[in-house]
Structure 1
């Protein structure tokens, strides 16, 4: 990847926002499950509940997660081990895995014995977002940012979130999940002289 491509990718990630309401998350789940596929729904569900990068999600194999409530993976980008807790989606995830016939991949492609591509994952998420009337940029990175946003909103534990997302500084994490911009907007909306 050239330096220009890396810069473009970083700019694209900055433009992507988390999904900020539970209603929009439910709409997205419904759209993916009803109008895309169970595979795409589970990919979204796993993404927003773990904060894994799309490359790590797509590399998951059935044997890695079947009947497990906790797994340890080595992240592709950072090469660091990370513990993933699946308790909150265990039943739904395993019901889905039971439907996969002869596939070793959690998110199998319909073309051969491979996982779906990042491009296909992006297409399906975009299709779901369009059906759910989510107006802003959706990408595969939306799942990770949504996880971070809601983890922070529920726990206010920026130190743990920074560790989970493998960020170097809490400011990076707050900016990444859009809290800095949201706080500024909220304070400016209430500001008047």
Structure 2
């Protein structure tokens, strides 16, 4: 399994958002939910029309089997409500084009993200990139690792910091500034 990183650059997030919005409303919605509320892709793919019409997204996380209730940020909520108007009651929001009412699978979600990542020259991307991107920017904005730990249902702040790449940023900065007195450069 490849290790994926959050999308640290706001410019690349904007570029991917624009790329996906131009290509497919469905794919754009998947992306903004992932980076907007930090759900796992498996939880996003199970959302139905009715889930978009509430002030909170409530899921029982597949991995942890714990309930998670996350408020939809107001700017995103408006877009989700507009998108929901295009759907039938009970319809999956990230619906497959094959078959009746089924969501796309994880590998299709990966291909969608991979294509958008290539467009903005990003590597180390996967479906978890969405969740990690949410976490990274949430932490940078709030500096509240305890709340992020709770949102992610992680057992410790250290796990959350490592998960969102903050530890990697710190190590990269330390190595960038590391002076080697024995070397004459």
- Residue number in structure 2 paired with 1:70: 56
Q: Which blocks of at least 5 consecutive residues in structure 1 are unaligned?
A: 1-7
Mapped to 1, the partners of 2:150 and 2:46 lie a distance apart of 22
Q: Which residue of 2 aligns with 1:80?
A: 66
| Displacement of 1:71 | 3.1
**Is the CA contact (8 Å cut-off) linking 1:47 and 1:143 kept in structure 2?**
yes
The C-alpha deviation readout for 1:69-119, integer Å capped at 9, x for no partner, is 113221111111111111331111111111225661111111122011111
Hey, what's the Cα distance between the residues in 1 that align with 2:104 and 2:57? 21
Answer with 166-175 or 70-79: which moved more: 70-79
Hey, what does 2:6 align to over in structure 1?
Answer: 18
Q: Which residue of 2 aligns with 1:59?
A: 46
2:152 equivalent among 165, 178, 181: 165
Tell me which residue corresponds to 1:100. 87
Q: Does 1:182 align with 2:169?
A: yes
Secondary structure of residue in 2 paired with 1:60: coil
Alignment partner, residue 118 of structure 2: 130
CA offsets, 1:129-159, max 9 Å, x none?
A: 112222x121110000001111111111111
Query: How many residues are paired up?
Result: 178
The farther-off stretch of 87-96 and 142-151 is 87-96
Query: C-alpha displacement at 1:64, in angstroms?
Result: 2.3
Greater Cα radius of gyration, structure 1 or 2: 2
TM score, norm. by length of structure 1: 0.87
Structure 1 segment 110-149 matched on structure 2, within 5 A: 110-112=97-99, 113-134=101-122, 136-149=123-136
Distance in 2, matches of 1:87 and 1:162, equals: 18
Instruction: Provide the C-alpha distance between the structure 1 equivalents of 2:47 and 2:27, rounded to a whole number of angstroms.
Output: 14
Higher helix share: 1
2:71 pairs with 1:90: no
**Counterpart secondary structure, 1:73:** strand
Stretch of structure 1 that moved more, 70-79 or 101-110: 101-110
